[in-house]
Amino acid sequence: MILRPEHCSVHTHCTLCDGRATAAEMAAAAYAAGVQYFGFSCHSPTPSPYDVGFVLPDDVTEYRATVAALQKDYAGRMEILCGIELDSTSALAPSGFDYWIGSVHYLRAPDGAFYAADWDEEQFLSARDRLCGGDALAVTERYFEAVGAMAERKPTILGHIDLIRKLNRGDRLFPESDARYTRAALGALHRADPEKTLLEINTGGMRRGYRDTPYPALFLLKDWREMGGRIILTADAHDAGGIVYAYDAAAEIARAAGFKEASLLTASGEVPCAL
């Protein structure tokens, strides 16, 4: 059988973090959708007050056991990988997982306060005013500085690299065409290792109605291709209906950037497939 990007979905959440379906429901939905390589990537524990009840506990034993039981249930039918989405503020070491997604969800103030990058407009505006002297582009520069630092840790997958755009429909918070913005975004991308890290094309913001296109923006994808980088399509699924949501839109932007192939993650490593 010819492998397609939609045979793989490895950026997913469940009720063990902030997802709306249980791990068993997510696996069943993936299997029904024809996925062959399915991965759980629950949110790592963080010290953020916003994350209470929405991320894994410090002890991830139950999470690993839940995934291991599902691996047995689906053996021979669908591969299930145990990954994690590691937030940049998490103290958890991303070892002992099949893969890890490195993501930035917060800006940290010098006093330790958290400002969510994707929570709501109020968080962005308070980061702008309290942390960045009213300079909205400085918020994006701070965000991409944290993404660059995460990229240098060489995650298996660099998560939603330009998540800071999530609430920026119509440039309502900052101008995405401004040279300060594009320079900061490219600066973060250039700190990623194209040999070690996959860049994800993530449709999660589309599923939840915030975006009309996936992350990342086309200019970043084009640059990544010129760097020799590889991509993976992901849905950042938080519900059973979102397992391979809008993969066609993700494939379209990948092709527009010049990619001919995407990667699939499997238990025996990365496998390329045509777009």
Residues that bind Zn ion (CB under 5 A): 85, 103, 236
Question: Smallest distance, Å, CB 119 to Zn ion?
Answer: 12
Nearer to Zn ion, 89 or 225 (CB): 89
Question: Smallest distance, Å, CB 134 to Zn ion?
Answer: 27
Nearer to Zn ion, 6 or 236 (CB): 236
Report cis status (omega within 30 of 0) of the bond before 49: no
Question: Smallest distance, Å, CB 179 to Zn ion?
Answer: 27
Q: For residue 192, list its beta bridge partners.
A: none
Amino acid code (one letter) for 164: I
Cβ-proximal residues to 246 (8 Å cutoff; 6+ apart), any chain: 203, 206, 207, 214, 235
Work out the end-to-end distance of the chain between its first and last CA atoms, rounded to an integer number of angstroms. 15
Question: Smallest distance, Å, CB 18 to Zn ion?
Answer: 9
What own/partner pairs with CB < 8 Å and gap ≥ 24 does 128-133 have?
A: 131/107
Contact of 243 with 237, CB cutoff 8 Å: yes
**Residue 220's closest CA among 268, 269, 162, 143?**
162
Question: Smallest distance, Å, CB 192 to Zn ion?
Answer: 16
CA–CA gap between residue 62 and residue 215 (Å, rounded): 31
Q: What angle do CA 245, 10, 36 make, to 5 degrees?
A: 85
Question: Smallest distance, Å, CB 245 to Zn ion?
Answer: 13
CA–CA gap between residue 261 and residue 23 (Å, rounded): 29
CA–CA gap between residue 145 and residue 241 (Å, rounded): 34
Nearer to Zn ion, 85 or 141 (CB): 85
Contact of 230 with 194, CB cutoff 8 Å: yes
Nearer to Zn ion, 82 or 225 (CB): 82
Q: Is the dihedral of CA 61, 67, 69, 71 positive or negative?
A: negative
Question: Smallest distance, Å, CB 164 to Zn ion?
Answer: 12
